[in-house]
Amino acid sequence: MKKLLVLTASALLLVACSSTQDGAELYGDVNGGWQDDIDVTSLSATALTKKLQQTGYDVVYFSFNDSGLDSQAKATLRSQAEWLKDNPKALIVIEGRCDERGTREYNLALGDQRANAARSYLIAQGISADRIRTISYGKDKPVVLGSDEEAWAKNRNATTVAY
């Protein structure tokens, strides 16, 4: 009986530890920042993810070969900052993307610049840097498939995902 109890407890512990990190497990400290060891590529969508997507303020777009924020991108990020202030426990990941043109290495660097441009703007709007992570997908995870200007324009972005 004692062995069965130990085995059951061990199995439950393994299941609990193997689940996708989400929600409260992400917070690294009482100030609400990210835990240091969180792998943002393994996170699942949450209710906050969907809530931010529904606002329409989760994506900013960039010109070809550029990581500068235009007036529309800044307006979107200001709205995003207000949403983050209204949702003070939300943690975000900004995903930088590029269109399919250019080398993989170049696009990873450009995607990183785009994600960090959005991050810097949000920090300037009063959002704590501890709440923001960035990742570059370059051209590896396009939002839209296609090899035309319409698809390329949609893939040149920084998408904010909330957790």
Q: Is residue 86 part of a domain?
A: yes
Q: Is residue 143 part of a domain?
A: yes
Q: Is residue 3 part of a domain?
A: no
List the CATH number of the domain containing 144: 3.30.1330.60
Q: Is residue 4 part of a domain?
A: no
Q: Is residue 11 part of a domain?
A: no
pLDDT tens digit sequence for 72-95: 999 999 999 999 999 999 999 999
Q: First CA to last CA across the chain, in angstroms?
A: 41
pLDDT < 70 positions in the chain? 1-32
Q: Is residue 12 part of a domain?
A: no
128 phi/psi in degrees, rounded to 5: -65, 135
Strand-pairing partners, residue 110, are none
Number of domains forming the structure of the chain: 1
Domain that holds residue 115: 21-162
